[in-house]
Amino acid sequence: MNINANKSSKKIYTVSELTAEIKVIIEESLPFVWVFGEISNLKTPSSGHFYFTLKDKNAQIKAVIFRGQTRNLKFRLKDGMAITGLGRLNLYEPHGTYQVIFEYIEPKGTGALQAAYEQLKAKLFNEGLFKQNHKRPIPFLPAKISMITSPTGSVIHDMLNIIDRRFPNMAVEIWPVKVQGQDAKAQIASALQTLNERTDTDLIIIARGGGSLEDLQAFNSETVARAVFKSQIPVISAVGHETDFTICDFVSDLRAPTPSTAAELAVPIKNELHLRCRELSIALSTKMQLRINRLRVQLDNSVDRLRDPVRNIQDLRLKTDDYTMRLGRSFIRSIQRYQERLAWRTEKLGLNNPLGLIEKHVKKLEQIRISASSYIKKDLSYKKSILGEMSARLHALNPIEILSRGYSITRTIPDTCVITDSNNVSMGQELEIILAKGSLRVVVKGKTING
C-alpha cells in the first residue's frame, strides 16, 4: 500500500481544525436541548458561576450555569439533586470536551408544581382571598404568641432567641407540625383551627426554613390557604427565604421575608418601650406641672378681682326686699282689676238672663210647630188627590183591564212578536192568543187583508 499516495489524496486535519469542525457540527445541529440528570461534583468558584457534572446510570456530561442565570434560581443546587434544564451544547476547544451551558433549571417535578402553584394563586386571587381589606392588623404587644412550625431545626431556636432578646418573658407557645411531606398541610390547617377554637392567643406565626418548590408544597396548598383566611387570629407567614413566595404569604395578614424577621415583627423591644414610657412619663409630669402653675396664676388673678361676698349678700337682700314690695303691690292691683271685671260681667249676665230667652224661644217653637202641622196636612191632602187621579189613569191603561173588555193579544211562536198586521202572518203559521184569562194556540187557515 502506498501510504504517501493516500496522504496526498486526503485532507489531513490538525487537532484544532478537527475540534473546530466537531464544535460546529455539535453546536449547529443541537442549538438548545432539554436535559435531565443528577448533579454531582458541584463547584462554586469566586466568579459566581456554577460548574458540575450531570449524570445518569450510563453516562455523564459537564455542565455550567453562568452568574447571570444563577440570580434567577429560586432554589439552591446541591449534589445528588435531580434536575431538568434547558441549555445549549458547547465544545471547549482547549480541553477537547463538550458541555451544556444551562439557561434555565428546575428541580425534578417542579414544572407541574409551578403550574399548580400559578393556577391556585389565580383562583384564590379571583375569589378575593388576597385583598387587603380582609387582612387583620398585627397586635402591637401580644399577650401570647403561638408558633406553628417544626419543633426541630434552627428556625424555632432563632425565633425564640430573637423574641427573648427583644421582649423577655413573652408567652410563646410552640405548636409542632410537619412542614413538608404528605401530612404537613393537614397538620398545619388543624393547628390553625384548634388555636382559633381556643381563642387564648393573640398572634400566630407559621414558619419554616427555605427549600425547593417541592419542599414548600404544604404552604402552597389550598387547604392551608383557606385555613389561614378563616383564622380570626392575625397570622404572620414566615416561610422560606426572601425570594420564596408561597400562597400562605399572600393570604396571611402579614408576610415576613424570613422567620427571624417574623420574630422581630411580632414583638417590640422591651427596653425601648421602658425608655419610651419613661420619656412619656417625664413629659407628662412636666406638662402637668406647667399647667398647674398656669392655673395657679389664673386663680390668684381671679382672687384679686373677686368682690367681698358680704357686700354681694347685702346687695341681694336689698333687691329681694324691693322685689317683694313690688310683687305685693302688683298682686293687689291684679285682684282689683279682676273684681271690677267680675262685677261688670255679673251685671251684664243679669240683663241677659237665659230663662227669659228660653221662654221666648219656647213660644216661638210652638208657633212653628202649629204652622208646620197645618202645612203638612194641606200637603198630604193635595198629594192624596193627585195619587187618586194617577191611580185611575193607570187603572184605565192597564192591559189586563183592556183584555177584560173582550180584547186579546196575538203573538208569534216562539219569538213572541205581537201581530198587528195580517200581512206579517203566513198560512199554517202557529200563533198564541192571550186572553184576559188564559191563552190559546191556533193555526192560521185564512186571513183577510185590509187595504
Is the pLDDT at 125 greater than 80? The verdict is yes
What are phi and psi for residue 48, nearest 5 degrees? Answer: 95, -5
Mean pLDDT score, 384-404? 79
Q: Which residues contact 62 (CB under 8 A, 6 or more apart)?
A: 51, 53, 54, 97, 98, 99, 100
Do the Cβ atoms of 130 and 124 come closer than 8 Å?
yes
Q: Would you place residue 414 in the very low, low, confident or very high pLDDT band (cuts 50, 70, 90)? A: confident
437: three-class secondary structure by DSSP: coil
Q: Would you place residue 203 in the very low, low, confident or very high pLDDT band (cuts 50, 70, 90)? A: very high
328: three-class secondary structure by DSSP: helix
Residues 142-188 have pLDDT tens digits of 999 999 998 887 889 999 999 999 999 899 999 999 988 888 999 99
Give me the pLDDT at residue 9, please: 63
Q: Which residues of 393-417 are buried (b: 16+ CB within 10 A; e: fewer)?
A: eeeeeeeeeeeeeeeeebeeeeeee
Q: Would you place residue 4 in the very low, low, confident or very high pLDDT band (cuts 50, 70, 90)? A: low
Tell me whether domains 3-108 and 124-268 share a fold.
Answer: no
Residues 174-187 have pLDDT tens digits of 999 998 888 899 99
Is the pLDDT at 407 greater than 80? The verdict is no
Give me the pLDDT at residue 96, please: 78
Label the pairing between strands 235-239 and 203-208.
parallel
3-108 domain in CATH 2.40.50.140? yes
Give me the pLDDT at residue 451, please: 56
Q: Would you place residue 112 in the very low, low, confident or very high pLDDT band (cuts 50, 70, 90)? A: low
Q: How far apart are CA 263 and CA 261, in angstroms?
A: 5
Give me the pLDDT at residue 6, please: 56
DSSP-derived secondary structure for 233-289: S-EEEEES-TT---HHHHHSSEE-SSHHHHHHHHS--HHHHHHHHHHHHHHHHHHHH
Q: How far apart are CA 318 and CA 75, in angstroms?
A: 99
Give me the pLDDT at residue 393, please: 81
Highest averaged pLDDT of the listed ranges 69-83, 190-204, 399-413: 190-204
Mean pLDDT score, 102-130? 80
What are phi and psi for residue 221, nearest 5 degrees? Answer: -95, 150
Residues 249-278 have pLDDT tens digits of 999 999 998 899 999 999 999 898 899 999
Mean pLDDT score, 370-378? 88
First to last CA, the chain: 163
DSSP-derived secondary structure for 366-433: HHHHHHHHHHHHHHHHHHHHHHHHHHHHHHHT-HHHHHTTT--EEEETTT-PBP--GGG--TT-EEEE
- The per-residue pLDDT of the chain, averaged, comes to 85
* Percentage of the residues of the chain whose pLDDT score is greater than 90: 27
Q: Which of 55-69, 200-214, 288-302, 339-353 has the lowest mean pLDDT?
A: 339-353
Give me the pLDDT at residue 138, please: 92
Is the pLDDT at 3 greater than 60? The verdict is no
124-268 domain in CATH 3.40.50.10440? no
- Supply 207's cell numbers: 414558619
Q: How far apart are CA 414 and CA 404, in angstroms?
A: 25
Mean pLDDT score, 41-54? 88
Query: What number of other Cβ atoms are within 10 A of residue 336's Cβ?
Result: 10
This model's pTM is above 0.75? no
255, β-bridge pairs: 237
Mean pLDDT score, 316-341? 87
Q: Would you place residue 236 in the very low, low, confident or very high pLDDT band (cuts 50, 70, 90)? A: very high
Q: How far apart are CA 109 and CA 117, in angstroms?
A: 13
Is the pLDDT at 31 greater than 80? The verdict is no
Q: How far apart are CA 419 and CA 424, in angstroms?
A: 7
Give me the pLDDT at residue 417, please: 86
Q: Would you place residue 450 in the very low, low, confident or very high pLDDT band (cuts 50, 70, 90)? A: low
Q: Would you place residue 292 in the very low, low, confident or very high pLDDT band (cuts 50, 70, 90)? A: very high
Q: Would you place residue 25 in the very low, low, confident or very high pLDDT band (cuts 50, 70, 90)? A: confident
Give me the pLDDT at residue 415, please: 83
Q: How would you list the strands of the sheet with 439-443, edge to edge?
A: 409-412, 430-434, 439-443
Residues 62-108 have pLDDT tens digits of 999 988 887 777 677 888 888 888 888 888 778 778 889 898 888 77
Query: So where are the chain's domains?
Result: 3-108, 124-268, 271-300, 403-443
Is the pLDDT at 7 greater than 60? The verdict is no
Give me the pLDDT at residue 187, please: 93
Q: Would you place residue 282 in the very low, low, confident or very high pLDDT band (cuts 50, 70, 90)? A: very high
Angle at 247 between CA 244 and CA 253, to 5 degrees: 100
Helices (H), 63-153: 67-70, 110-127
Is the pLDDT at 354 greater than 80? The verdict is no
What number of residues does the chain have? 451
Q: Which residues contact 238 (CB under 8 A, 6 or more apart)?
A: 159, 205, 206, 207, 208, 255, 256, 257, 258, 259, 261, 262
